[in-house]
Amino acid sequence: MLDLSRKLTDKLVIDDKEYALDLSFNNVLKLFEMWRDEDVPEFVKPHFGIRILTGETLEDFTVEEMAEIFNEVFEEHISLSEVEDNHVEYDLAGNPMKTTASDEPKEKAPYDIRYDGDYIYASFLQAYGIDLFDVQGKLHWKKFNALLSGLPEGTKFMEVVKIRKWKPQKGDSTEYKEEMRKLQKDYALPNDTIVDEEYEEEF
């Protein structure tokens, strides 16, 4: 959640030394891409992550120390875990996870920045007049997420999210349910499961 009473403080402090953090949205997406790369050994990912964010290679730290440093940076600046209930935070692989209540497990949000890039790009341009390619290196990750959360009805991204979240209701016609199921399959994310007829029998 953006605190409008304070400036965004994008820095890492280690032993009184400050390192500027590049938290532009596209740089954070590069971080997520690296973290998902199965060819990158797990133990070096925190080192690579800090290098992506600071442009610096910190060599005077153990694997355990670097993992701790990276996790602190991730939790404070990237995961958005401090947002209110029913908002979205991100795991280390960049998957948006919807928070429902503080004591309940997190569920997968109905979008994925990796696969929904076209819809997000078109919707930012439609709603805000922002060309995301023009603001690479400029638009802050937290600002990007605030704008993403605020996209209005009628944008392509919100239409797709609405389709993915749809569930049949009593009174829906057979034709309408068939059309919505078809749309859900068309817009499904990888590994999404679309429930068919047996689910609809309840209605």
> Across the strands, what pairs with 14?
17
In a domain, 25, yes or no: yes
Same domain for 102 and 179:
no
User: What's the pTM value of the predicted model, to 2 decimals?
Assistant: 0.81
Same domain for 175 and 94:
no
Between the two ends of the chain, the Cα-to-Cα distance in Å is 39
Q: At 119, which helix (H) or strand (E)?
A: helix 117-128
Same domain for 122 and 58:
yes
**pLDDT of 11-58, one tens digit each?**
999 988 999 999 999 999 999 999 999 999 999 999 999 999 999 988
**Would you say residue 79 has pLDDT above 70?**
yes
Same domain for 172 and 110:
no
The predicted structure's pLDDT at residue 159: 97
DSSP code string of 51-117: HHHHS----SS-HHHHHHHHHHHIIIIIS-TTSPTTSEEE-TT--EEE---TTS--EE-S--TTT-H
**pLDDT of 80-135, one tens digit each?**
754 433 456 677 766 776 655 555 556 678 899 999 999 999 999 999 999 999 99
Q: Which amino acid does the sequence have at 193?
A: T
Residue span of the structural domain in which 129 resides = 1-151
In a domain, 159, yes or no: no
**pLDDT of 161-178, one tens digit each?**
999 999 999 889 999 999
Buried b (16+ CB within 10 A) or exposed e, 151-167: beeebbbbebbebbeee
Same domain for 139 and 95:
yes
